[in-house]
Chains A and B, each alone.
Chain A
Amino acid sequence: MLLFIIGGAIGLVAIILLGLVIIYNGLVGLRNAVKNAWSQIDVQLKRRYDLIPNLVETVKGYAKHESTTFEKVTQARSACMQASAAGNVGELAKAEGFLTQALKSLFAVVEAYPELKANQNFLALQEELTSTENKISFARQFYNDNTMRFNNKIQMFPSNIVAGVFAFKIAEFFEITTAEERVAPKVQF
């Protein structure tokens, strides 16, 4: 009888230990997935910073008088690069929101110049920028999905105990924070 109880106790401890190991490894795996997803965003953001000067130069060739728009884009770009270098997710998301707005007004300017819109060089740049923007938003989606999974694990029972013991920290979502982007499109009937 005693042997039976001891055996049972050892079995129970073994199962609990195994569970702990599985939970811990799951947490580490998710934390790495979040880090990897973040580096994906970073790569695409850098690519966008590289494309912008070329774009501004090409547009300048046709539309010399829109200097305020160019300045806005250039300023937003350098703000982003600073936030990116500092590694602050919240600040970067805000700066990126401004850059997106500035680029939108730049493309609105382009609408008034038909020769520019037919320029092959410009079209190629526009496609590259569109693609990079898409990549950023998909990378952000992938990052946020992974972040949600990681945060769920940290907050849900029983993995929250393991997360607490080993001091896993909640990851930050990459959110757009400018007011314009937050407004849902209005539908009128």
Chain B
Amino acid sequence: MDIRVYSLRSLRLCGEFILIYSNQDIMNIYEQQRHNRRATYLLMFIFILVFCVLGFGFDQFFTGGLPIGTTVALIIATISVLGSYYAGAKVVLYSTGARAVNMSNLKERQFHNIVEEVSIAGGLPMPKVYIVPDPDPNAFATGRNPQHASIAITEGLLEKLNRDEIQGVVAHEMSHISNYDIRLMTVIAALVGAIVLLSDFSARSMRYIGRSKGKGKALGIVPFIIWLLLIILAPIIAQIMAMAISRKREYLADATGAELIRNPLALASALEKIEQDVAATKSIKRGVAHLCIADPLGRSFTNKQGFIANLFATHPPMQERITRLKKMGYIYAPTIAHGSAPTV
């Protein structure tokens, strides 16, 4: 055989050795974090780029080439990117009307205690805790890193779930915090909001100045239509992207959360209770939907399978999540009485 084949093989063996030797479960969490950090920066870059293209188009069609639109778009984009990174969590919390925990209330104090417990289990700093005044059970986490993280739950969740189930929900949110999902999701929430705002604004300003100054068209009609389509489609594409990213993370957060407290059945039963409560979480707006443990809009997509449902649902089907957790429950159960072990 060729010497090159040998050297390639030995190189691959070395690689495998390193992979096996380095502790897999540590590797994975760090890979998750790195992946999410990279995705966040990429998203910010794409966002600024899209803004610039929109602004550039505006200049071409309306200002006759003066870079007013581009400059304004660039400034707005930079401010939104910085704002989404540093103040995104505050905006998200404010938009849901979240309030601080009242420590003299036994139930709310219990929630505070549970978050403290789970943060010990994960070896993470204690996040800030908030209550959203809404009777529908739901929960979300936000922030830019574990040192600046918040967990919020609704009053309904506090009332309808027992201690173990709340612990399951908090563990799910804690895994979103530990693998930096919260940073990506919070930035997405803020940027999707900005894109929707911009699209609204350009559509309105077009109607306003479109007729009077429309003469200075530097480019042809085809680019104009493309630009128009971009403006119309940008918010929809942004939302579909947010949903796709969030959907993938939910199974992982369920599994990691269950492992964190070594109790998948608590989260399974919490999800069952949340699902039974079909009403929408009114305090949580569409832009924050992908941050929550269950779809706050009460959309029927979440429980169906298929292409359209997959495209628009922020969360995977609830039944599938519960089934997966219950399967995990068999693994953690100390005694299995029957001869047939469950296949997982």
A interface residues, Cβ below 8 angstroms from B = 37, 40, 44, 120, 123-124, 127-128, 130-131, 134-135, 138-139, 141-142, 149, 152, 156, 184-187, 189
Evaluate contact between A185 and B261: CB separation under 8 angstroms.
Answer: no
**Chain B residues with Cβ under 8 A from A40's Cβ?**
120
Residue on A nearest B107 in the bound complex, by CB: A127
Q: How far is the CA of A148 from the CA of B344 in the complex (A)?
A: 26
Q: Is B117 an interface residue (CB 8 A)?
A: yes
CB-CB under 8 A from A120, the residues of chain B are 106
Which residues B95-114 have CB closer than 8 A to chain A? Answer: 106, 109-110, 113-114
Q: A128-B113, A131-B110, A189-B337 are in contact. List 13 more A-B contacts (CB 8 A).
A: A124-B109, A131-B113, A131-B117, A134-B117, A135-B117, A135-B120, A138-B120, A141-B262, A142-B120, A142-B123, A184-B335, A185-B334, A187-B337
B106 touches A127 (CB 8 A): yes
Contact A138 B106 (CB under 8 A): no
Provide the bound-state CA to CA distance between A120 and B113, in Å. Answer: 17
Docked-complex contact B120 and A185, CB < 8 angstroms = no
Chain B contact residues, majority secondary structure: helix
Chain B residues in the interface with A (C-beta under 8 A): 21, 23, 26, 106, 109-110, 113-114, 116-118, 120-123, 163, 167, 261-262, 334-335, 337
What are 12 A-B interface contacts by the 8 Å CB criterion? A37-B123, A40-B120, A124-B106, A124-B109, A130-B163, A131-B113, A134-B167, A142-B121, A142-B122, A152-B23, A185-B335, A189-B337
Q: Determine the residue in chain B with the shortest Cβ distance to A40.
A: B120
Contacts of A128 in B (CB 8 A): 113
**A47: min CB distance to chain B, Å:** 11
Residues on the A chain within 8 Å of B23, using CB = 149, 152
Chain A residues contacting B109 (CB-CB under 8 Å) are 124, 127
Give A158 Cβ to nearest chain B Cβ, in Å: 8
Quote the shortest CB–CB distance from B119 to chain A (angstroms).
Answer: 9
Q: A128-B113, A185-B334 are in contact. Are A123 and B120 (CB under 8 A)?
A: no
Which residues of chain A are within 8 angstroms of B335 by Cβ–Cβ distance? 184-187
> Does B337 contact A138, Cβ atoms closer than 8 Å?
no
Is B334 a contact of A127 with CB atoms below 8 Å?
Answer: no
Task: Report the nearest B residue to A142, measured CB to CB.
Answer: B123
Provide the residues of chain A in CB contact with B26, threshold 8 Å: 149
In contact, B261 and A138 (Cβ under 8 angstroms): yes
A69 to B163, CA, bound (A): 27
Give the contacting residue for B117; candidates A37, A138, A152, A156; CB below 8 A.
Answer: A138
Flag if A131 contacts B121 (CB, 8 Å).
Answer: no
Docked pose: A5 CA to B238 CA in angstroms: 58
In the assembled complex, the CB of A171 is this many whole angstroms from the nearest CB of chain B, namely 16
A149 to B25, CA, bound (A): 10
Query: In the complex the two chains form, is A127's CB within 8 Å of B117's CB?
Result: no
- Residues of B near A139 (CB, < 8 A) are 120
